[in-house]
Amino acid sequence: MERQRTIKKELSIKGVGLHTENRVSLQFQPAPVDSGINFMRTDLAGRPKVSVDINNLLPLDRSPRRTSIGFGNVEIHTIEHLIAALVGLSIDNLHILIDSNEVAGLDGSAKEFTEKILEVGIEEQVKEKKYFSLREPISIEEEGSLIVALPYPNLRVSYTLSYNHPFLKTQYLDLMITPEEFKEKIAFARTFCLEEEVSDLLALGLGKGANYENTLVVGEKGVIKNKLRFEDEFIRHKILDLIGDLGLLGFSVNAHLIALKSGHPENIKLIKKIYQQKQRYESGGVRASYIPSEGEELDTTMITKILPHRYPFLFVDRIISLEKRKRAIGVKNVSVNEWFFTGHFPGQPVMPGVLIVECMAQVGGVLMLSLEENRGKLAYFLAADNVKFRKTVLPGDRLIIQVEAERIKSKTGLVHGKVFVEEKIVAEADLMFSLAEV
């Protein structure tokens, strides 16, 4: 499992903002685990901190053609090239002191950020990296642009660039995004615009700090007053921007991103959907923060260190037997005061069958998350097969929930559950789970 990373020592970079032309100094400082990436505006009273977080994203109509974060009157513009360097080099935690409202444009790429970070060195930290592996496909389509995100064990980008332009031919590039690939194939790619766009951009107050050296201006016959670093430098920069926008998530993503003519607007919509998917799956999952010992009995307090369920949705009162990789036995005392009895056959209360299945699922979750290799993982309840209800469960019954492992692998688990009342079986089912890194 990869560990979180920061830089080994401080470094400084100075430059001019591409859009504002404001002079700016940036100072990078190592940060402790779980800090994330944070800017501090040292030129403002109180040195306000702005986290690189999707919740701090500024609307694109306030910062067109770039990615910006902030709140209130505190803004930091054009962060994507810097954040791409951090994502590309797998930097998780960093403090960035900045004395203006826009990150330095430098040469229009992530080159200097990447080189300076590698020069001071990268330090591995004691805690595991935060990951989310995409679980369901996501698609974004708008005005001829498209991004599709598919589940994949690593981060992979397949990009197609297509312009109706005599020099900017259709280009395609497929890359696995690793620190080595980023350093060699992406970091040096510079931002670009079409010659016909220049006057409109300047009229909008954009590109004040741009010139022919830090921005590739593309005319009908080629790049004006500059030379390409790569024959397909344009598409590489599009991938650089996409990687930088992914950094707003605050965690690493495993997914295959397939993009056609996408830019910041589509990238932002994509990361919002990825973030929503992560929130949805985490709210429906169980995560192990405590690993019980073999044979340990668990009371409610101990169970809540393994399962995130709380009243009224924690149904397991105790785990009375735990044999790792084999079986677990839990207990549920069904009280007449259970909240669900007020609406389920009132006057003749019966425990809903779906909640009996949930009891089995919770004991199954404890069984799978009791393994050391599953520490910090999420267990998602995916399916229930061969469900049978043989006897009603009434107030006053004591459920004995027995779950046996059929198969527990690194990413999936299958268990068979049985529920007994007074040694008579009342329900059983085969339950399938998915085990995923956070």
Q: Report, as residue numbers or ranges, the catalytic residues.
A: 264, 344
Question: Please, is 173 exposed, middle or buried when counting C-beta atoms within 10 Å of its C-beta (0-12, 13-18, 19+)?
Answer: middle
User: Under 8 Å CB-to-CB from 40, ≥6 apart: which residues?
Assistant: 47, 48, 49, 50, 95, 96, 97, 98
Angle (CA) 12 17 19, round 5°? 165
Burial class (CB in 10 A: 0-12, 13-18, 19+), 311: exposed
Beta-bridged to residue 381, according to DSSP, are: 433
* Token reading at 197: 């766009």
Q: How many contiguous H segments (helices) and E segments (strands) does the chain have?
A: 8, 25
First vs last Cα of the chain: how many Å apart? 12
DSSP character for 320?
E
Helix axes 111-120, 80-88, angle to 10 degrees: 40
Q: Under a CB-based contact definition with an 8 Å cutoff, are residues 300 and 396 in contact?
A: no
Please name the residues in contact with 276: beta carbons below 8 A apart, sequence gap of 6 or more: none
Q: Which residues contact 122 (CB under 8 A, 6 or more apart)?
A: 5, 6, 7, 8, 89, 90, 91
Q: Which pair of tokens denotes residue 295?
A: 């044979």
- Considering Cα of 66, then 71, then 73, then 79, what sign does the dihedral take? negative
Q: Do residues 435 and 378 touch, judged by C-beta distance below 8 A?
A: yes
